[in-house]
Structure 1
């Protein structure tokens, strides 16, 4: 089983230059969100920068509201203040591409401040995509405040994390985890899927699992049946692979593959007719997200079950089958579990 890497947590405080700029400018800026406490913030991993960061969590249908607190260190004049909620898609291929796909703002007139002053905001624009941090793609939502000054404008930003529940899938897809037999029985019904894997005439196996659509807290049940086994097999693995495709959905799209979790299901050469059971709990996989078939025609994220057989000579034979993942009601926070598989 893969061990989850511990990433360095990013400092939320401004850097040295930012602190110096605030000191010279003479006004402190702080974001305060209504109904959000520091204790309920979520920790998000960033595989591109290899850091983690804590953010306030918002549902896709939840308004982003609160206030920006301006605390002057004396008489502070500005030529207007702009507060924005911005959604940005970033891709990191041959070059860095950024696209603003949503924006909502509120403007405040010029003023002279002498005391701490709250500037309230309420942004209810729909958030079409949920936040995502991958190897070569990212969806981000920022609160940005720009204070217009005579010499140089002052800008402060704070990122928030947005999760999006698939209401249609939640209503139409059965939740196997609610069944009493969830932890005991493997039932192969009409939704079951199977695939055959063969290597010449020395290996033939059938890989069967209970269905192809899963929510993020569900489990995958399956079995591997060996029909022909004349090959020296050292061990076998099952895993979950995420593939990021950068581009509008063409064969020329840049693809990045990442194995999120894998574990050994067998050891040694099996006999003909042997059945190896599979039970994989998705909630134990860190950084798991729903399937994104298309994010603004910029990128997509697909998931696959990956069956790998390793021979005594070290050769690897594998077969992949795509599965669809979705976020069900009650699964708002990003997955960062450290639990194991069984």
Structure 2
């Protein structure tokens, strides 16, 4: 991108070292399109060459040329303020004149890139190089984005999630997932076991929900997106029936879990078990999981470790919440939005029971 002024003008381009052999990764833009950018990791050196090409013969006076490496968070509802968490500057040329096209080498050695690149519903985290050729009337500016992936390393131990839930005197089920931390190419394996069935269940499905949280306090915004749906069963189950679950994550657009990134936003994932009865009443139970990016070269210590599950309080969706020790009660789906504004492990009902 070039900005032109009167008289001589120049075009600026950035060529990264080794870019012909460097992997590229897709990143979603604000308008929903996809761009491919060169991929870097935390601690990698970012180096290359800046080419300044004069548009016509003659000289170009400038007030200096600099290159910046910037990592910033952009909140869409606060576009006037960009929150920079990384900012490095190198001077390429002092004020003077250019009489011919010139190239400048640059290097940001072992630069820290603590967070993964991300574009969401209300926030964007990006890394980019910006070259500024300062002129008297209008500067010439060139920006080039890069993509950063963060790799996670976990101990091998990964405890399963197991919970009993139900509706008092109507339904009692036990569900189990093989672990609660999954890499982006992983498979969710589990089972549903029906201990008591006294309501007519129409179907049951498992959803993967992404919750993007921006802001803090009264200015907190939650954006929920259903990433995946997996139909567990279609028809009424019977007591003692066990249904297996196998959901492949590689086919879905997922990012790693991001918690309290620079105190600006979070991205969390939940497994949502949904039951629908013949009267179209929907009951659900959410369980948070962690998703991480594993290195392409699999190593033993890249396996996920699991944090122990905290039991939650549940209701059946009627106007009166009930307190049960075992099993916990399923929540009506219509109450999820209200429940999101409360503590994550406590759910209150506000629907009507038919």
Alignment TM-score, normalising by the size of structure 1: 0.79
**Are residue 246 (structure 1) and residue 211 (structure 2) matched?**
no
Q: How many angstroms apart in 2 are the aligned matches of 1:111 and 1:121?
A: 19
Cα distance, 1:45 vs. partner? 2.2
> Is the aligned partner of 1:328 residue 2:310?
no
2:273–2:285 CA contact under 8 A, matched in 1? yes
Equivalent residue for 1:110?
95
Tell whether the 8 Å contact from 1:165 to 1:331 is kept in structure 2 after alignment: no
Partner of 2:51: 69
Q: 1:270 aligns with which of 212, 232, 237?
A: 237
- 2:273 maps to 307
Gaps of 5+ in 2: 299-354
Change in Cα spacing, 1:25 to 1:290, as seen in structure 2 (3 Å) is: farther
Stretches of structure 1 that go unaligned for 5 or more consecutive residues are: 1-13, 175-189, 333-342
When residues 94 and 275 of structure 1 are mapped into structure 2, their CA distance, relative to the original with a 3 A threshold, is: farther
Alignment correspondent of 1:234: 202
Name the structure 1 match of 2:18. 35
Deviations 1:182-203 (A, max 9, x none): xxxxxxxx81211222123222
Q: Point out the structure with max Rg over C-alpha.
A: 2
In 2, Cα distance between the equivalents of 1:307 and 1:94? 35
- Deviation per CA, 1:69-89: give whole Å up to 9, x if none: 111022222221010001111
3-state SS of 2:188 partner: strand
Relative to 1, partners in 2 of residues 1:93 and 1:148: Cα closer, same or farther, differing over 3 Å?
A: closer
Cα distance in 1 for partners of 2:100, 2:78 equals: 49
* RMSD of equivalent CA atoms: 2.4
Question: Which residue pairs with 1:137 in the alignment?
Answer: 123
1:70 and 1:322, CA in 2 relative to 1: closer, same or farther beyond 3 A? same
In structure 1, the residue matched to 2:170 is: 202
**Inter-CA distance 147–95: structure 2 relative to 1 (3 Å threshold):** closer
Query: 2:302: which partner in 1?
Result: none
Moved over 6 A (4+): none
1:60–1:130 contact (8 Å) kept in structure 2: no
The one of 72, 84, 92 equivalent to 1:100 is: 84
Shift of 1:94: 7.0
**Cα offset for 1:276?**
1.0
Aligned counterpart in structure 2 of residue 152 of structure 1, from 138, 142, 147: 138
> CA contact under 8 A between 2:259 and 2:266: conserved in structure 1?
yes
Superposed, 1:157-172 pairs within 5 Å as: 157-167=143-153, 169=154, 172=155
Counterpart for residue 189 of structure 2: 221
TM score, norm. by length of structure 2: 0.77
Q: Deviations over 1:91-128 (max 9, x none)?
A: 23477642011101111212322333112111132111
**Range with greater deviation from structure 2 (105-114 or 77-86):** 105-114
Q: Residue 283 of structure 1: SS of its match in structure 2?
A: helix
Residues 1:70 and 1:241: Cα distance change in structure 2 (over 3 Å): same
Q: Cα offset for 1:261?
A: 1.1
Question: Deviation per CA, 1:51-83, whole angstroms, max 9, x where unpaired?
Answer: 211211111221111111111022222221010
CA distance 1:153–1:319, shift in 2 (3 Å): same
Offset of 1:22 from its aligned partner? 7.8
> 2-side partners of 1:230 and 1:266: how far apart?
17
